[in-house]
Amino acid sequence: MIRETKIWKSLSGSGKVSIVLLLLIVSFAVGYHLFGGETYRQPSGSSLEAPGLRHIMGTDDLGIDIAAQIGHGAGVSLLVGLSSALLAGLGGSILGILAGYYRGWKDKLVMGLCDVVMTMPQMPLLIVLGALFGSSTRNIILVIGFMSWAGPARIVRSRMLSMGKEAYVAAARSYGAGFFHLLVKHFIPGLYPLILVSMLRIIGHAIVAEAGLSFLGLGDPVSKSWGVILNRSINFPGIFFVESWKWWVIFPLAFLLVLVVSFAFLGRDLEKIMNTK
């Protein structure tokens, strides 16, 4: 509790605002998942109804409540972001730890794979892989995770090389400490701040990538993610010649921007706090 209090006090104003906004979006998503029922895909009003007391963010062309769609889509975006970050962060960190500890051909192999993945144009490759494996949320998570593991792997490997030269690690080895003992007692405590910050960065990237794929029509069409909402709204005939663009386009776009920017500011602050060097 004391540590969490110190971290909160160390955050900048933008970092604190980011946490508040993230909590509000999470609460919004949880609330609609628990109490919204099927309102995110069933008509409940007139077509293109303006925001009001009944529909606080208006309705789309089918009369479906946009707030309900955004609430459901927030859950999809958070699921994709957190799952992709977990997959890429843990997978990349494991490879980075092994490369930094054992070095030799294993290090060269992992770093070679990192170079290949990082030099690939991500969005075109995501589009190709998304079209190849199908438009489901699970496939999007796997594709984004596959394209995002190289960053954490390089960061963790670099830190492992530095930690391997520390006196306390050399002393532990001289007493017969093996890999798993060093990993639990020394490596993980020194690595988890870097892994956490890397995962926060991946979350924002994954959310944008999922929204981009869905906007291009490669997302799960029944998921009602923010990218799917934007895809349907932009493709509506004459959308910018009617008043409905003010709520059908702006609300999901605003939520997407707030979520991504909040993760970016929070990751920046945590990096400054945890990485004292």
Q: What is the predicted pLDDT for the residue at 6? A: 66
Q: Is the pLDDT of residue 243 over 70?
A: yes
| Both tokens assigned to 275 | 């990485």
Whether 3 is covered by a domain: the verdict is no
Whether 14 is covered by a domain: the verdict is no
CATH number for position 257: 1.10.3720.10
Q: Which residues contact 158 (CB under 8 A, 6 or more apart)?
A: 96, 100
Q: Which structural domain, as residue segments, surrounds residue 117?
A: 68-274
Q: What is the Cβ-side half-sphere exposure of residue 221, based on CA atoms within 13 angstroms?
A: 3
Whether 209 is covered by a domain: the verdict is yes
Neighbour-count burial for 121-152, b at 16+ CB within 10 Å, e otherwise: eeeeebbebbeeeebebebbbbbbbbbbbbbb
Instruction: For 44-71, write each residue's pLDDT tens digit.
Output: 888 888 898 888 898 888 888 999 899 9
84: exposed, middle or buried (C-beta count within 10 Å: 0-12, 13-18, 19+)?
buried
Whether 53 is covered by a domain: the verdict is no
5 pLDDT tier (thresholds 50, 70, 90): low
Whether 31 is covered by a domain: the verdict is no
Whether 159 is covered by a domain: the verdict is yes
Instruction: For 72-112, write each residue's pLDDT tens digit.
Output: 889 888 898 899 999 999 999 999 999 988 888 888 998 89
Overall number of domains in the chain: 1
Q: What is the mean pLDDT of residues 229-234?
A: 88
The distance in angstroms from the start CA to the end CA of the chain is: 25
Q: 10 Å Cβ neighbour count for 25?
A: 20
Q: Is the pLDDT of residue 258 over 90?
A: yes
Whether 124 is covered by a domain: the verdict is yes
| Both tokens assigned to 273 | 């706090």
Whether 29 is covered by a domain: the verdict is no
Q: What is the predicted pLDDT for the residue at 276? A: 54
